[in-house]
Amino acid sequence: MPHAARISSATLLRKPSRPPEPSATRRTFLKLGAAAAAFVAVSSRFHRSAWAGAPVGKRVAPADPVYHLLNRISYGVTPAELALAQKMGLNAYLEQQLNPAKIRETTLKGKIGKLKVWSMSYAQLYQRADWELSYRGLIEGAVARAVYAKAQLYERVCEFWTDHFNVSGDDFPADTVDYVNALRRHAFGRFRDLLGASAKHPAMLFYLDNASNIAAHPNENYARELMELHTLGVDGGYTEQDVKEVARAFTGWSVDWGRGFGFYEWDHDFGAKQILGVAFPAGRGIEDGEQVLDMLANHPSTRRFVCRKLCRRFVSDAPPESLVTRMSDVWAATGGQIVPVLRELFLSAEFGASAGQKLRRPFDWYAAALRTTGAEVKEFWWQHYMLAQLAQVPHGWHPPNGYPDVARAWANTGGLLARWNEAFVLTDGALTWRDRNLISGLKKKAGRFKTAGQMVERLGLAIFGSMLSPEQAAPYVAFASDGAGAGALLDKDAVASKLGTTAGLMLCSPLFMWR
């Protein structure tokens, strides 16, 4: 696609003058002291079972249902947002989050406003946005929305849809920026509109080759993934012949260069078709594809497949079939309206009983770390490097199925070690490196304190959004005081040594990684 001057990823992602240094390899982590080693031992016992995909033995988050809701619908609970939700009550707060248009986004608006690509139309992106500008905007926009948005549920659901209707943003990031905007417009609307926006967008048309799907040489890639990944599911009741017929229905759906979707009649197969047992008469054009989308959007298999995925994202890796059934019924009754389906999910008993059953995905963990510690990564290369180390750069998944959504996909030694490394970069590193591209917010978050117990209390409140119980606080107090206890006074040197590292340990903990 002939966008303006293109800069290679190798040029954009060149190393800075001083690359970030991992500060928490297992060896250096254990050098933090005997108390830290004890903390690792306690955490490791949990991780040996939890990271292996075994059920969590007990909740690792407070049992407060309001806290549990915020912990799942946000990229990190903050004390201020928890206080607001508790004041409003669970139902009222959820309704507020289900109406994002009424939420003022002053801070986020300023952050996104600096990323010019997000205010450009498709035509403007095509004409003016080069590869570097678009790619940076794509990644920085995802981070900014996760960290600064007040409509946190909306942002998490938008991320869900970009996974569900996945395209890779590496090749033509300008297309992907506009594609993300198109999905965002319908994220809380009707599933049929989401499906249509995806089907007609140049990013998807190119990604799954439907732009080259013509009557003389049908291309089945989009037809197959449309049914397997976007709607019915692999066991949804379609056949290989259905794939071929759906591909014929979408012939002629292509791209009008620089403008967006284009339908070319001369490339369309006007013959009769038979799809999922329904006869499509001969002589029709774009109506063939539109009818396929109508059928698939309202199909019972689609309802169950998408509702199960929503449960997998927000409830547990093994979605409760009782909840999937009720959500599917709400979908059928409302014509595929997304908000009522989400309401059924978050007010369900199954959701309420699921605390501690979801492992944060790497991007979720990274955004939560920034959001709760107040850290800022100013240099784009550095931010991209950290996300790549975590193995979840936004819009960087190349297969069409989107980033994995279950613990076993991320539960490995390398994934855990990457989080440990980055936890200490964002906490101890941000405090001690004196680098203008890495800003710490920990001193502001902690405020004034004199003792190890006070420091742990204030850091815990900032990072977890809620007061730690004495049992939860104990290993941090032991580390911060070198075993002397909560009343141990911390002098200037002790604070310099313990503030960042204690916060880093919190980000490494099961309590932070699982929710």
**Does a structural domain hold residue 415?**
yes
**Does a structural domain hold residue 166?**
no
**Does a structural domain hold residue 461?**
yes
Task: Determine the Cα–Cα distance for residues 79 and 228; give it in Å rounded to an integer.
Answer: 41
The answer to which of 3-17, 121-135, 211-225, 286-300 has the lowest mean pLDDT is 3-17
**Does a structural domain hold residue 305?**
yes
CA angle 159, 165, 170 (to 5 degrees): 80
Same-domain pairing of 373 and 503: yes
Report whether 220 contacts 256 (CB < 8 A). Answer: no
**Does a structural domain hold residue 52?**
yes
pLDDT tier at 63 (50, 70, 90 boundaries)? confident
Same-domain pairing of 337 and 372: no
Same-domain pairing of 369 and 515: yes
The mean per-residue pLDDT over the stretch 338-361 comes to 97
Last residue of a domain, one of 317, 336, 352: 352
The answer to which of 12-26, 61-75, 267-281 has the lowest mean pLDDT is 12-26
**Does a structural domain hold residue 426?**
yes
Whole-angstrom CA distances from 9 to 2, 15, 133, 175 are 17, 12, 12, 16
List beta partners, residue 377. Answer: 438
CA angle 353, 410, 431 (to 5 degrees): 95
Same-domain pairing of 391 and 313: no
Same-domain pairing of 318 and 415: no
**Does a structural domain hold residue 367?**
yes
**Averaged confidence pLDDT in the chain:** 90
Q: What is the pLDDT of residues 416-462, one digit of tens each?
A: 999 999 999 999 999 999 899 999 999 999 999 999 999 999 999 99
pLDDT surpasses 90 at 509: yes
Four-CA torsion 83, 85, 86, 88, nearest 10 degrees? 120
Sign of CA dihedral 124, 125, 130, 133: positive
Q: What is the pLDDT of residues 141-189, one digit of tens each?
A: 999 999 999 999 999 999 999 999 999 999 899 999 999 999 999 999 9
Same-domain pairing of 338 and 363: no
Last residue of a domain, one of 352, 369, 392: 352
The mean per-residue pLDDT over the stretch 388-403 comes to 97
The answer to which of 41-55, 211-225, 326-340, 431-445 has the lowest mean pLDDT is 41-55
Task: Determine the Cα–Cα distance for residues 144 and 367; give it in Å rounded to an integer.
Answer: 9
| Domain that includes residue 363, residue range | 18-63+359-515
Last residue of a domain, one of 352, 381, 416: 352
Same-domain pairing of 345 and 456: no
Same-domain pairing of 441 and 507: yes
The total number of structural domains that make up the chain: 2
Same-domain pairing of 486 and 370: yes
The string of DSSP letters for 430-488 reads HHHS--TTEE--HHHHH-S--BHHHHHHHHHHHHHSSPPPHHHHHHHHHHHTTTS-TT-
Q: Is 279 helix (H, G, I), strand (E, B) or coil?
A: strand
pLDDT value, residue 225: 98
Same-domain pairing of 346 and 363: no
Q: For residues 22 and 213, which has the higher predicted lDDT (pLDDT)?
A: 213
pLDDT tier at 11 (50, 70, 90 boundaries)? very low
Whole-angstrom CA distances from 492 to 450, 489, 495, 497 are 10, 10, 5, 9
**Does a structural domain hold residue 138?**
no
pLDDT surpasses 80 at 35: no
Same-domain pairing of 313 and 441: no
Name the strand (E) or helix (H) holding 293: helix 287-297
Same-domain pairing of 466 and 343: no
Beta-carbon contacts of residue 20 (< 8 Å; ≥ 6 apart): 382, 385, 386, 425, 429, 438
pLDDT value, residue 43: 47
Task: Determine the Cα–Cα distance for residues 311 and 294; give it in Å rounded to an integer.
Answer: 24
